[in-house]
Amino acid sequence: MRQILTLVAQRLALGLLILFIVSIIIAFVVELLPGDTCQALMGQSATPETVQACRAELGLNRSAPLRYLDWITGMLTGDMGSSLANGRPISDLLGTRLGNTFFLAGLAAAIAVPLAITLGVAAALYRDSLFDRGVNVATLTSISFPEFFVAYILIYLLAVQAGWFPGISNVSGGDVGFGDRVYRTLLPALTLTLVVTAHMMRMTRAAIINLMASPYIEMARLKGIRRRRIIVKHALPNALSPIINVVAINLAYLIVGVVVVEVVFVYPGLGQLLVDSVSKRDMPVIQAGSMIFAAVYVLLNLTADVLSIVTNPRLLHRR
Amino acid sequence: MQAFAKAFWKAPITAKFGVLAITVYVLTAVFAPLLAPYGQFQVVGSQYLPWSAAHPLGTDNLGRDMLSRIIFGARNTVSIALIATILTFLLGTVTGFIAATLGGWADQVLSRLVDSLMAIPTLIFGLMLLTVFGTSIPVLICVIALLESTRVYRLARAVAMNIVVMDYVEAARLRGEGLWWIMTREVLPNALSPLAAEFGLRFCFVFLFISALSFLGLGIQPPTADWGSMVRENATLISFGDPTPLIPAGAIALLTVAVNFVVDWFLYHTSGLKD
């Protein structure tokens, strides 16, 4: 047990270090921009005096490390500065949108994870059958599709032709109940599901098949246990560690892949905000948004690491 | 050549389909001006014309011929993706081989740098970099090469690590050969087959990445015909029940599927899994 705790603590420390480096990289990239926030803010009407005054007000005339420190403490305490485009505080802009993005990703994960694991186990169970080969080609195909292609096909088939779902996910207007919200978010969530299921399923199948050659599985087979029971009771627990790992990596991808899908469905999430801000060159919002996305991504990958350590049977039962 | 033909004959149907599709794409890209009925920037009618004999796939949001733009898109999108992939590979393999061959602090510095770059989601980092440096095609290619080369670095380093401990590399070192010689004459020839498979996969990722950026309006800029931006420009048609914008998106999907199928076949063939 102590061993696991040390390993987990090491991982957490490494994760924090990476998060710190990432924040420095993001802050540094903004430093490369010609001009600064004040010039962008004032545009054509800037005189040297007003720019100076503005810099003093925003604290831009101080050295880069100090400004970095300001920014990062601001990020941690929820004060992220204000948008260039409309002057509103960034935390207001991000608040509800972050919730929307997590709702969409959560819904997609709730569909994709059970589906992928069930399909993966089934493909391993009926290995080399027609079902297995069909699933293999289907997943290879869906990995290769761009997200927007999947999204527009779903819109075309399910929203325009069949008319079952709205083609635009409007979840911001008024108070939308939970059921209604799920209904309006279902189409983007399905898109994300199709995008991530394939990878998780292939890894599940590969992890189980990898184990099928090990001696203890052969032993179980010689004892005459049925194939289904061998896979579910004997192989699956040992394959759990790589499976959890790939699930967490795909969840991290969900948060990011969400950007394109949100734009397609005009879903009011963080990704949409980020893309809008990029076209307006609204640097403070881009910086804050990127930092949040990167933080979630790092944290989920960290969770993957920690969980795969914790679920590794070899580490759990070491005397 | 004959060996290839024989192997191809025995290949699974998916691989044959892949090779065929890739050939069609290459031919389309090379002969685009001959195949396209109109020029890629030429306005030939009013906006959003339906499918007709004169314009087999109708016209786009500015009244340009859709079919011609899709054909020119093969040339623009695929060639940019190919250049970006080649640059990605040069950067990734050279740094990866250097890290593996030199070892020690050079390896540490490069690997930690790559780790931190990989910790930032590519699309988000790409959006940031393109906002800062502007969206011209050379910048686009460099940004993609920088971001994607981290993945190639990982693979190249891992493969080379297993090779540099071999006796013949040791012998080359004792002969006093330089770093460049060891990398190109000793390591590279033995790392070719995993790298070739990775090239195919990486091309798919780069291609999808460029398409996503173009779709978001940050990749290949108008008026250049490009599949990702064509989907974006004409997406409104879909809500009116016209599936035309699905064609450029499908063109992207089909090429990535084809490359994936060929890579799958190649991996199967070189890994000796022929039972």
The DSSP string of B101-160 is: HH-HHHHHHHHHHHHHHHTS-HHHHHHHHHHHH---HHHHHHHHHHHHHHHHHHHHHHHH
Mean pLDDT of B154-174: 90
CA distance B258 to B75: 17
Q: Tell the residue number behind the tokens 């580490």, with chain if given.
A: A315
CA distance B147 to A272: 22
User: Which one is predicted more confidently, A78 or B172?
Assistant: B172
Looking from the CA of B138 toward its CB, the CA atoms found within 13 Å total 0
* Minimal-distance CA residue of chain B relative to A31: B132
Alpha carbon A226 to chain centroid, angstroms: 38
Helix (H, G, I), strand (E, B) or coil at A164: coil
Q: State the DSSP code for B46.
A: S
Residues of chain A neighbouring B120 (CB-CB closer than 8 A): 22, 25-26, 290, 294, 297
Q: Establish if B3 belongs to a structural domain.
A: no
Helix (H, G, I), strand (E, B) or coil at B64: strand
Nearest to A281 by CA among A39, A64, A73: A39
Beta-bridge partner residues of B43: B64
* Minimal-distance CA residue of chain B relative to A252: B121
Give residue B91's pLDDT: 94
CB neighbours of A10 closer than 8 A, spacing ≥ 6? none
Of B120, B133, B218, the CB nearest to A294: B120
Please tell me chain A's helix, strand, coil percentages from 3-state DSSP, rounded to the nearest 5.
80, 0, 20
Q: Establish if B4 belongs to a structural domain.
A: no
* C-alpha distance from B117 to closest chain A C-alpha (Å): 8
Residues of chain A neighbouring B211 (CB-CB closer than 8 A): 146, 148
Query: How many contacts (CB atoms, under 8 Å) link A and B?
Result: 134
Q: Which helix (H) or strand (E) holds A247?
A: helix A236-265
Rounded to 5 degrees, φ, ψ at A122 are -65, -40
Alpha carbon B69 to chain centroid, angstroms: 20
Q: Tell the residue number behind the tokens 């991504």, with chain if given.
A: A297
Helix (H, G, I), strand (E, B) or coil at B26: helix
Q: Establish if B5 belongs to a structural domain.
A: no
* Helix residue ranges per DSSP H, A127-235: 130-144, 147-154, 178-211, 215-222, 227-229
Give residue B271's pLDDT: 60
* Minimal-distance CA residue of chain B relative to A17: B116
Q: Tell the residue number behind the tokens 């930690």, with chain if given.
A: B112
Q: Establish if B186 belongs to a structural domain.
A: yes
Q: Establish if B132 belongs to a structural domain.
A: yes
Mean pLDDT of B79-89: 94
CB-count burial class (<10 Å; 0-12, 13-18, 19+) for B107: middle
Residue B273 has pLDDT above 50, yes or no: no
CB neighbours of B167 closer than 8 A, spacing ≥ 6? none
Q: What per-residue string of b and e applies to A111-144 under the rule 16 or more CB within 10 Å gives b?
A: bbbebbbebbbbbbbebeeeeeeebbeebbbbbb
Chain A touched by B127 (CB under 8 Å): yes
Q: Which helix (H) or strand (E) holds A12?
A: helix A2-31
CA distance B275 to B272: 8
CB-count burial class (<10 Å; 0-12, 13-18, 19+) for A198: buried
**Which of B213, B238, B261 is best to mutate for the A interface (most A CBs within 10 A)?**
B238
Beta carbons of B256 and A149 less than 8 Å apart: no
CA distance A239 to A246: 11
Report CA dihedral (B183, B187, B191, B196) to the nearest 10 degrees. 30
Nearest to B205 by CA among B261, B264, B166, B148: B148
CA distance B68 to B57: 9
Distances (CA, A) of A313 to A1, A236, A307, A317: 12, 12, 12, 6
Q: Find out whether A104 and B225 touch, Cβ atoms under 8 Å.
A: no
User: Which one is predicted more confidently, B239 or B31?
Assistant: B31
Transcribe A112-128 into DSSP letters. HHHHHHHHHHHHHHTTT
Task: Identify the domain containing residue B29 by its residue range.
Answer: 15-271
Q: Find out whether B116 and A18 touch, Cβ atoms under 8 Å.
A: yes
Structure tokens at B171: 């012998």
Q: Establish if B131 belongs to a structural domain.
A: yes
Number of helices (H) and strands (E), helices first, in chain A?
14, 0
Q: State the DSSP code for A45.
A: G
| B98-137 per-position pLDDT tens digit | 999 988 888 888 988 888 888 888 888 888 888 888 888 8
Q: Tell the residue number behind the tokens 């969980």, with chain if given.
A: A307
The backbone region for A253, taken as left when phi is positive above 0, alpha when psi lies in -120 to 50, beta otherwise, is alpha
* C-alpha distance from B45 to closest chain A C-alpha (Å): 26
Nearest to A159 by CA among B233, B238, B244, B236: B238
CB-count burial class (<10 Å; 0-12, 13-18, 19+) for A264: buried
| B50-64 per-position pLDDT tens digit | 777 777 787 887 888
Residues of chain A with pLDDT under 50: 319
Residue B28 has pLDDT above 80, yes or no: yes
Chain A touched by B116 (CB under 8 Å): yes
Structure tokens at A16: 């924090």
Query: Which band of pLDDT confidence, cut at 50, 70 and 90, is reported for residue B236?
Result: confident
* Minimal-distance CA residue of chain B relative to A255: B121
Mean pLDDT of B83-89: 95
Beta-bridge partner residues of B65: B59
CA distance A239 to B86: 36
Transcribe B212-224 into DSSP letters. HHHHTTSSSPTTS
Nearest to A24 by CA among A72, A58, A82, A63: A72
Q: Find out whether A40 and A60 touch, Cβ atoms under 8 Å.
A: no
Number of helices (H) and strands (E), helices first, in chain B?
13, 0
Q: State the DSSP code for A62.
A: S
Q: Establish if B127 belongs to a structural domain.
A: yes
Of B124, B127, B211, the CB nearest to A146: B211
Residues of chain B neighbouring A19 (CB-CB closer than 8 A): 119
Mean pLDDT of B23-35: 88
Give residue A176's pLDDT: 66
Chain A touched by B264 (CB under 8 Å): yes
**How many domains does one find in chain B?**
1
Model pTM score:
0.84
Cβ atoms < 10 Å from Cβ of B142: 16
Q: Supply the mean pLDDT for chain B.
A: 86
Residues of chain A neighbouring B273 (CB-CB closer than 8 A): none
Give residue A182's pLDDT: 81
Query: Which band of pLDDT confidence, cut at 50, 70 and 90, is reported for residue B149?
Result: very high
Q: Establish if B6 belongs to a structural domain.
A: no
Query: Which band of pLDDT confidence, cut at 50, 70 and 90, is reported for residue B144?
Result: very high
Rounded to 5 degrees, φ, ψ at B240 are -95, 10
Q: State the DSSP code for A266.
A: T
Of A18, A140, A287, the CB nearest to B115: A18
Q: Tell the residue number behind the tokens 């796939």, with chain if given.
A: B57
Query: Which band of pLDDT confidence, cut at 50, 70 and 90, is reported for residue B26?
Result: very high
CATH number at residue B61: 1.10.3720.10
